[in-house]
Amino acid sequence: MEQADNAPPFDPLDGDTRADVAIAGGGFTGLWTAYYLKTLAPELDVCVLEAKRCGFGASGRNGGWMMAALEGETRLLSALDGQRRKQTGALIHGILPEVERVLGQNDIDCDYRRGGGIYAAARYPEQLALQRKLLDEYRAAGFGADDFRWLEAAELSSRLRIAGALGGIYTPHIARIQPARLVLGLARTLRGLGVRIYEQTPVTGLEAGHMVTATGRIRAPSRLLALEGYSSRLPEVSERVLAVQSRIIATEPLDESLWNDIGLAEREVFCEASPLITYGQRSADNRMVFGARGTYRFGGGPRSEFGLHGRDFEEVHRLLAACFPQLESTLITHRWGGTLGVPRNGFPHAVYDRTTGVGTAGGYFGEGVGAANLMARTLADQVLGRDTELVQAPWAFAGSIESQLRRWEPEPLRWLGYKATDLVRRLEESVYRRQGPGWQKRPLQRASGWLDRLKT
Ligand SMILES: Cc1cc2nc3c(=O)[nH]c(=O)nc-3n(C[C@H](O)[C@H](O)[C@H](O)COP(=O)(O)OP(=O)(O)OC[C@H]3O[C@@H](n4cnc5c(N)ncnc54)[C@H](O)[C@@H]3O)c2cc1C
């Protein structure tokens, strides 16, 4: 985010204008959508309106796992018949090759390194059952051992010396990036292609044929909302995608001997099956970047500012030290958080209404760094009326946002639901970590299974 802040800004909108397509939101979804629209149809006049700076949202401040994956993909794929399942799985796994093509073609350096990802079971034995269940789900969704394969404890430890390593899953379909650098590279590329970007220009509403801001109106036949965790700000998408926070810390650069001790020689990203959703990567400048589940604010609004030394980050630091005791007293130089979007539909979406010209894409949970590329390609094809595999994909919807995306339950139900889930997950973590007796675990396992079913 520091890098995004230091880049030369784009001017705000000043007065009324026209465009063929106006996009609200300068994160990965908005920028990739502009990229595909402009490269597929260079004659189009495309503009992006960003409330703050491009990358101010989750795109400039995430953990840098670029996954060829969609949250909810195993459920989505398991519901399809054989041939369609295979095609759809290939579209999802095509995300990284496509991103690699664009990065190479446009000379975008974002520390991209495709070292794969490790889903570890560590610290307590229940994680092993969770990872085995996850592998079964991948198999049922049609993915083979080339896509996801089991790591026995010894192989896991040869790649990642995480405390209590028991086993895990390896997938080659994840790359590490420095996300703010990708935002900057995309914005620069768009400028070169002739896309107009207006920063410090919050969209305040949609009116027939117009996108409205405080400093001018844009007349545009196609108007797209790429607001994700900030969706509460516009009625068309608010209540459909909820804002939830995640938190990250980064250590000072670690010397080579510490990295030899920890592993990640191929720059694999990693997580462990904790209910507190931990994730990490080794950055290009050799820091350990480590994040964990965050918070939900009553009402579902976004949050960009985080008290840097409060409870928010103590828990993340404690989890980092539990996974890597050798880092317990390592200096933490960066702490930040951000807002991601959770869709009521249960998986990401691209929606476009040809009659009104209004569309949206998002709903990534915390997995939008790669998925935004796929949803943006889908939305661009929908806007251009192209007859492609993408517009037939199960995440593509034709019609109004209102008719296609489910609405979240009203408050206080959402807040209570989040708090209940959070409480169960924290209890699970603490009982499992302490190896509490069976009578403590059983009700938690039942509650946890029940909460998982609620996602569908
Ligand atoms: C801490 C954290 C860690 C994460 N780690 C990972 C990870 O490692 N891997 C992964 O796949 N995903 C991760 N995610 C999720 C991922 O970052 C997001 O899914 C993805 O960046 C969403 O991109 P987006 O463009 O849809 O939304 P955003 O990047 O949030 O962009 C929305 C933009 O809209 C702007 N905006 C808001 N209101 C308005 C308005 N009224 N008018 C105009 N513009 C407006 C915002 O300023 C923002 O820039 C993480 C998220 C967080 C918060």
Would you say the CB of residue 348 lies under 6 angstroms from ligand 1?
Answer: no
Q: How many whole angstroms separate alpha carbon 239 and alpha carbon 409?
A: 8
pLDDT tens by residue, 229-264: 999 989 999 999 999 999 999 999 999 999 999 999
pLDDT of 3? 59
310 has a pLDDT exceeding 80: no
Give the helix/strand (H/E) hosting 272: strand 269-272
Ligand 1 contact, 248 CB (< 6 A) = yes
pLDDT at 455 over 60: no
Q: Which domains does the chain have, with CATH numbers?
A: 2-103+178-240+345-404 (3.50.50.60), 111-176+243-344 (3.30.9.10), 413-456 (no CATH)
Contacts of 325 (CB under 8 A, 6+ apart): 163
Q: Is 294 in the pocket of ligand 1 (CB under 6 A)?
A: no
CA distance 246 to 68: 20
**Which H helix or E strand runs over 24?**
strand 21-24
CA dihedral 71, 77, 78, 81 (to 10 degrees): 170
The alpha carbon of 25 and the centre of ligand 1 are apart by a number of angstroms equal to: 9
> What is the pLDDT at residue 124?
87
Task: Give the Cα separation of 91 and 85 in Å (integer).
Answer: 10
Please answer whether residues 244 and 425 qualify as being in contact, where contact means their C-beta atoms are separated by less than 8 angstroms. Answer: no
CA distance 31 to 383: 15
Cα distance between residue 321 and residue 318, in whole Å = 5
Name the residue at shortest CA distance from atom 20 of ligand 1.
Answer: 368
Task: Give the CA diameter of the chain.
Answer: 66
Which residues contact residue 147 at a Cβ distance below 8 angstroms, ignoring those fewer than 6 apart?
Answer: 93, 138, 171, 172, 173
Q: How far apart are CA 328 and CA 319, in angstroms?
A: 10
Place of tokens 């997995």: 367
Using a 6 Å cutoff on CB, does residue 272 contact ligand 1? no
- CB atoms near residue 249 (< 10 Å): 25
Residues 299, 243: contact at Cβ < 8 Å? no
Distance of CA 183 to the CA centre of its chain: 14
Cβ contacts of 310 within 8 Å, gap of 6 or more: none
Ligand 1 within 6 A of CB of 233:
yes
Expressed in angstroms and rounded, the spacing between residue 175 Cα and the centre of ligand 1 is 18
Banded pLDDT at 447 (limits 50, 70, 90): low
Q: Classify strands 65-67 and 174-176 as parallel, antiparallel or unpaired.
A: antiparallel
- Compute the distance from residue 432 Cα to the ligand 1 centre, in Å: 32
49 Cα nearest atom in ligand 1: 43
pLDDT of 185 above 70: yes
What lies within 8 Å, CB to CB, of 80 at 6+ separation is 88, 394
Kindly state if the Cβ of 30 falls inside 6 Å of ligand 1. yes
Q: How far apart are CA 131 and CA 138, in angstroms?
A: 11
pLDDT digits (tens, 9 = 90+) for 34-85: 999 999 999 999 999 999 999 999 999 999 999 999 999 999 999 999 899 9
